[in-house]
Amino acid sequence: MEKVAPAQSGIDQRKADHIRINLEQDVRSALTSGLERYHFVHEALPELDLESVDASLTVFGKRLAAPILISSMTGGTEEAGEINRRLAEAAQECGVAMGIGSQRAALEDSKQIPTFAIARKAAPDILLFANLGAVQLNYGYTIEHCRRAVDMIQADALILHLNPLQEAVQASGDTNFAGLAKKIEGICKKLETPVIVKEVGWGISERTAKILADCGVSAIDVAGAGGTSWSQVEMHRAPDEFTRQLAATFVGWGIPTADSILNVKKAAPDMTLFASGGLKDGLDIAKCLALGATLGGMAGQFLKAAAVSTEKAVEMVKLTKRQIEVAMFSAGVEKLESLKVEKS
């Protein structure tokens, strides 16, 4: 009989630590995203009007102004709630997608629900993703927990995130990932909304992509190596030297984002694919789309902007969108599906 994990008073502190560390410390992976290996062919005569370039698309039945995902980040503290509000307001104004951080804190302490629910209140029209750790399905979570997470924010889809390395290098992490694929398959069959599975920054292999496709997931977010390393985040919040050294070991671990995209395209060619992990700007998003992604996700840039104000977050989203459009224009491409890259 599996035991439901008890509510942990430490969850709130962990959420606060994650925000603080990401804003204050260098937590980058020692790897790059791999996107620097690709380039667009510059067209000096694009035969296009920049204003005719169309970066819009439809995902899960919702129209987006650009293929931008404000990647899952936070929730579960007062500060996190304010950041989610600002990010959601920016997503609403700019017409882009957004994910929220793991909702486990709110499922185990209802007082935290508003820090997540604020996203839908601030952004009634956006494509919004709920989020739970997949491993919690091995610690007593069921389809009902998934439904509660979706209902909490009136989400359009549920992200189940995979973070085995992060759990393995933190004190008292949840490390039983055995038999998880079957449980993910069960959620995919029963949940009324699409299920997205994402890594948190170490990428997706061909083997994992094939397993997830067989589970029936609606999309995979590769969240490859090259950006934030959550082992580095855990290193900064380690309670002792042993745990600190353990986490520090894995600064160069993972599959770069570009390679992860190709892995998914090879193992599951028809899979809807989101790309995140070390994307610096709209040009990187455009490269990911050319490699086969539907959306490009960024977190750190939007977190830093939202920590200042909604206006800064809006400015960052608008800049990212314009970077995508200028990349398309300069490559002589009017529609997203026509983007192509060459290996440098």
Q: Look at residue 67 and tell me if it is in a domain.
A: yes
Does residue 30 lie within any of the structural domains?
yes
Distance CA 203, CA 226 (A): 9
pLDDT band at residue 42 using 50, 70 and 90 as cut-offs: very high
What number of helices (H) and strands (E) belong to the chain? 14, 12
Q: Has residue 211 been placed in a domain? A: yes
Residue 15 is predicted with a pLDDT of 64
In this structure, of 22-31, 166-175, 178-187, 208-217, the range with the lowest mean pLDDT score is 22-31
pLDDT of residue 17: 77
Residue 5 belongs to a domain = no
Percent of the chain with pLDDT over 90: 88
Asked if pLDDT for residue 4 goes beyond 90, the answer is no
Report d(CA 255, CA 201) in Å as an integer.
Answer: 9
Question: Domain range spanning residue 308?
Answer: 10-343
Q: What's the pLDDT at 174? A: 97
How far apart (Å, rounded) are the C-alpha atoms in residues 112 and 14?
14
Computed over every residue of the chain, the mean pLDDT equals: 94
Residue 2 domain flag: no
**pLDDT value, residue 8:** 41
Please compute, for residue 66, the number of CA atoms within 13 A of its CA located in the half-sphere on the CB side.
28
- The per-residue pLDDT for 6 is 41
> pLDDT higher for 24 or 116?
116
pLDDT at 145 exceeding the cut of 90: yes
pLDDT of residue 26: 83
The pLDDT score that the predictor gives to residue 7 is 43
Which residue in this structure is represented by tokens 């750190």? 300
Would 339 be classed as within a structural domain?
yes
Number of domains in the chain: 1
Q: What percent of the chain has pLDDT over 70?
A: 96
How would you label 27-62 residue by residue, b for 16+ Cβ within 10 Å and e otherwise? bebebbbbbeebebeeeeebebeeeebebebebbee
What's the Cα-to-Cα distance from 109 to each of 7, 8, 11, 202, 220, rounded to whole Å? 7, 9, 10, 29, 29
Is the residue at 4 inside a domain? no
In this prediction, residue 27 carries a pLDDT of: 83
Residue 41 lies in a domain: yes
pLDDT over 90 (residue 175): yes
* Res 171: pLDDT: 87
Provide the CATH number for the domain around residue 42.
3.20.20.70
122 band by pLDDT with thresholds 50, 70 and 90: very high
